[in-house]
Structure 1
Amino acid sequence: MAGGDEVLNSPVALRAIESRHGPFRRTSVKPYSRVFQALDGRSLLKVYIGIDPAGRRSRELEAIRGGCRHGLSVPTVLGTGFDGESAWTVFQLLPGRPCTVETLPGLREYLDRILALSGRLHRPVTGLAPGPGWMPHHSDPFTQRGFLLRQLSPRCRLLPWWAELAELLAPIDSHPVVRLHGDLKPEHLLVDGDWLHVVDWEASGRGPAVADHADVAFHLARDLIYGGLPHRQLPEDVIRRLVLSGSVLAWRLLLWLDRRRPEDITLVPPGLIRQLAALNRPIATWALLAQTISSLRARGVPR
């Protein structure tokens, strides 16, 4: 496996994985994971690195098991384990094409798929507590906003906007708690004829449905802007289909910046969080989000 030494510390573990599922070639590099595809096209090896590899692995496995029980088409787990500071899972490779937002028909199809998935996934569950993963734990101390704020790094508590963000997120404490995918974007939805396969569940959690909707809106804006696509020409009916909470969108934007370069989180324009939270109009909220991402891209923030 090319580049194997950088993701798995033990040659013995690597040989054992490849003897059953490989050999592999690397297909993508993300800040917190590496993905390899088997040369025979039957499986994918995902290696979790960086922030809490073991926890992200566990959350993904929990959500996949739960998604299967709820009738969602999710990847089959072929093997999983730990190696030093990293964790790994081998998934069966699913067929289908990723959704796209590069054309207006593709964008409409993508939102149709998202809303249908939301209808099945975001069903309130009595007694479900907010927190990471789909399985509640007795140690979960979270409110809805506490669950979102906990995902930001500790350094954010020292920044001028922290108290304001916590205040503006307070209304979501009254929202129903639902099961979340946690990272909804086009490449995580695979269309296979009449089937929709949903992949990449490592950010799964239990919280307000608007958090998943914020993921959709944020990734849509970022993908269009960083892809050089005409985000300003989106028809109003497309934008109105997005369920937008300005305060949760602000949180999602900050989460992105917090996980880029150390200095990027300091680039938040003064007053932005309150501006987004106050709009309550999809068109205006979308415009401000897109304007902000465009400005951050111009200042060198990596995708």
Structure 2
Amino acid sequence: MYSTKLTESGIEPEFGPFGPAVLKPYSRTRFATDGRALLKVYVGIDPEGRRLREATTIERAALRGISVPTVLATGNGEGRSWTVFRTVAGKPCSTGTPEAAEEYIGHVMAVSGRLHRPTAGATPGSGWGTPQASPRPASPRQFLLDQFSARCRWLPSWKVLAEALQPIDTHRVVHLHGDLKPEHLLVDGKRLHVVDWEASACGPAVLDYIDVAFHLVRDLLYEGVPAGHVPIDLLTRLPFSGPVLAWRLLLWLDRRRTQDIDLVSTHDIHQIAAEEQAAPAYRSLAQMVEFLRAANVPR
């Protein structure tokens, strides 16, 4: 059981000293100079909620046989939310070659096999916690729509997306990691460690798979890989949903500059959402991402 009594001022003497901070959009991380611990300070969107979600989910993921970093201490103070993890060995997955990308997708499928087991009583929402008693729990579709900022409800494409997402309500609700990027899967010989659980949630399993596919397409294109070299055939091995892919594209843009989401038209969203086959949908996504990159949309 991790410590919740340690104050932030006590972190350095107990687990440090720590090296320079690595800055990410929603966190600041520092490794102990002896390599045994990692300090994460949550910033940006809902720091305290993400701290609590990650610490709780890690304990539950371990019970599912998933190798995760141990939480040594966690808390908040001096206006900041933080967690100290025991570091785990391993190198992040890579997508730099076709062989590496295939290995990465294999690891995703292995982790998902443990994550996406049927879960009695699970309802859509952030984290894996016990759902609050509610006469009207959120539907999977409403959970997805609630991820957007309020301004998106005035977009011409909002109605198209909301209608397209209706079938998602028939999907079984399971536990999700929420951010299975290559850098969150650390390979140590034959062992796989899964880190960064702050985006964990409950929802349809296809959310994890679409997130993986979206990141792979976007990140390869932003690294300068030609669209024709993106491994579309590899991505078709993952479960697919056109409406969820359209949702993921809009969510990315909603979290960038205010004007970026206006670069995607209602026709673009309908084209992806209405596609029943994964390969043409991912090709359309690649074309859109190439256009958005040329328009200087931040990655």
TM-score, normalised by the number of residues in structure 1: 0.92
Matching residue of 2:234: 238
Residues 14, 129 of structure 1: alpha-carbon distance in 2 compared, 3 angstrom cutoff: closer
Segments of 5+ residues of structure 1 without an aligned counterpart are 1-11
1:236 to partner: Cα distance: 5.3
3-state SS of 1:34 partner: strand
Task: Determine the C-alpha separation between the residues in 2 that align with 1:103 and 1:155.
Answer: 39
Task: Determine the C-alpha separation between the residues in 2 that align with 1:234 and 1:293.
Answer: 12
Segments of 5+ residues of structure 2 without an aligned counterpart are 1-5
Aligned counterpart for 2:11 among listed residues 11, 14, 17? 17
Task: Determine the C-alpha separation between the residues in 2 that align with 1:139 and 1:263.
Answer: 39
Matching residue of 1:279: 275
3-state SS of 2:74 partner: strand
Matching residue of 2:205: 209
Task: Determine the C-alpha separation between the residues in 1 that align with 2:131 and 2:143.
Answer: 13
Opposite residue 145 of structure 2, the aligned amino acid is L
CA distances 1:5-38 after superposition (whole Å, capped 9, x unpaired): xxxxxxx955421111112223532221111111
In the alignment, structure 1 residue 228 sits paired with structure 2 residue 224: yes
> Which has the higher mean CA deviation after the structures are superposed, 189-198 or 236-245?
236-245
1:166 to partner: Cα distance: 1.2
Matching residue of 2:121: 127
Whether the 8 Å CA contact 1:217–1:244 is kept in 2: the answer is: no
Give the paired residue count. 292
Whether the 8 Å CA contact 1:130–1:144 is kept in 2: the answer is: yes
Task: Determine the C-alpha separation between the residues in 1 that align with 2:262 and 2:120.
Answer: 39
Task: Determine the C-alpha separation between the residues in 2 that align with 1:272 and 1:165.
Answer: 11
Residues 92, 48 of structure 1: alpha-carbon distance in 2 compared, 3 angstrom cutoff: same
3-state SS of 2:153 partner: helix
Matching residue of 1:43: 37
In the alignment, structure 1 residue 145 sits paired with structure 2 residue 141: yes
Task: Determine the C-alpha separation between the residues in 1 that align with 2:233 and 2:257.
Answer: 35
Matching residue of 1:179: 175
Whether the 8 Å CA contact 1:26–1:34 is kept in 2: the answer is: no
1:146 to partner: Cα distance: 1.0
Task: Determine the C-alpha separation between the residues in 1 that align with 2:99 and 2:11.
Answer: 41
In the alignment, structure 1 residue 70 sits paired with structure 2 residue 79: no
Matching residue of 2:289: 293
3-state SS of 1:24 partner: coil
TM-score, normalised by the number of residues in structure 2: 0.93
Residues 290, 237 of structure 1: alpha-carbon distance in 2 compared, 3 angstrom cutoff: closer
Opposite residue 143 of structure 1, the aligned amino acid is S
Aligned counterpart for 1:162 among listed residues 158, 164, 176? 158
CA distances 1:185-244 after superposition (whole Å, capped 9, x unpaired): 100000011111000000100000111011101110111011112442245541321322
Query: Sequence identity of aligned pairs in percent?
Result: 55
Whether the 8 Å CA contact 2:156–2:266 is kept in 1: the answer is: no
3-state SS of 1:26 partner: coil
1:118 to partner: Cα distance: 1.3
Opposite residue 298 of structure 1, the aligned amino acid is A
Task: Determine the C-alpha separation between the residues in 2 that align with 1:13 and 1:79.
Answer: 9
Opposite residue 242 of structure 2, the aligned amino acid is G
Whether the 8 Å CA contact 1:53–1:85 is kept in 2: the answer is: no
1:124 to partner: Cα distance: 1.9
Whether the 8 Å CA contact 1:49–1:85 is kept in 2: the answer is: no
Whether the 8 Å CA contact 2:160–2:266 is kept in 1: the answer is: no
RMSD: 1.6
